[in-house]
Amino acid sequence: MDPEVLALPSDLTARSALQRVREAASFARYNLYVVDREQRLVGVLNLRELLRARAGDLLSELMVRDPMRITAAADRATLLAHPAWQRVASLPVVDDDGRYLGAVRYRTLRELENEILPKRRDDDTGAALGTLLTVGAAAVLEAIRGADREDGNHGA
């Protein structure tokens, strides 16, 4: 999780939000997370929508409410399997009280997947080779039995 992803208060105007984005540009991403005064995640807004907004529009009016999120206590498997990855480039992380802690980016997810999946691939490859050997050996035995029957040798 990246704890330094910009979050903005829901009562900011678009003008003020853009100023904060400029001031903290290194922490801004495509998605901007919107929090209430207690730092609870209440929405998400993409930077493009903020750029298109009227100066006086409040973030609370522009944001998409109740964005998909993941809790900090989630394990790796839960993070990898989260359905939000089909639609988002980053996923906000919250504590048990819904307070915004940071975000996990899709790139981080891919790195995590690469850490975990090679082990699974090795296991899957071994299982597949075992299945292939079993099926192959059975096919060879069946072929031998068939050849024996054709030759008149009925005992295998």
Average pLDDT, the chain: 82
pLDDT for the residue 148: 60
All domains in the chain, ordered by first residue: 7-106 (3.10.580.10)
2, 30, 39, 78 from 36: Cα distances, Å: 20, 20, 5, 26
| pTM for the whole structure | 0.69
Q: Which of 64, 89, 78, 82 is nearest to 2 (CA)?
A: 89
Measured distance CA(68)–CA(88) in Å, rounded: 9
Model confidence pLDDT, tens digit, residues 100-117: 999 998 887 788 777 776
| Mean pLDDT calculated for residue range 9-31 | 91
